[in-house]
Chains A and B, each alone.
Chain A
């Protein structure tokens, strides 16, 4: 079955960078885009960006594109997101997500989430 397993909790100081991984298994890795979303405490979900894993083509939210990047390692079936120049408002749970094959383009597969806390 499809599994997305993310790396663990991160605590960073303002101005630092964070890199989170999402290990995929149970499907043909290059056949699906991988998305990253985040959820600040008590807030709704916010889409951050996606990578076409097969080609490496990325698309980012305009709100964070200057500080955000997504990469993938097809040999490791792992996608990475990196957020730089961290601010307190970047404190959130970060999720990788993939659409379901049988639900017409909606995010039916999610990682477990990675909590990133930005604090001095």
Chain B
């Protein structure tokens, strides 16, 4: 069963614009992670935010976590064509397994 649900399902922007993706989940978590997947390839870990953290940055990525609303957002600033991919949030709820959402497909046009 899916824990996280990303929104929107698909997002199309121009290079240089910012992209924001949201993730909502249902149960309490230890941490939430964001992954990127280029078409049909393996998942690449982007960032992990723990349940006691509210915001985290990594390069052009900014992740926020609101445990009261059970939601997270991923912001990619100054997007590039190479950012075109599917983005997944995944929650960890005590055991080591991850529960993934269905993902947001991001298309960045030159």
A and B form one complex? no
Interface residues, chain B, CB within 8 Å of chain A? none
Q: Which residues from chain A sit less than 8 Å from chain B, CB to CB? A: none
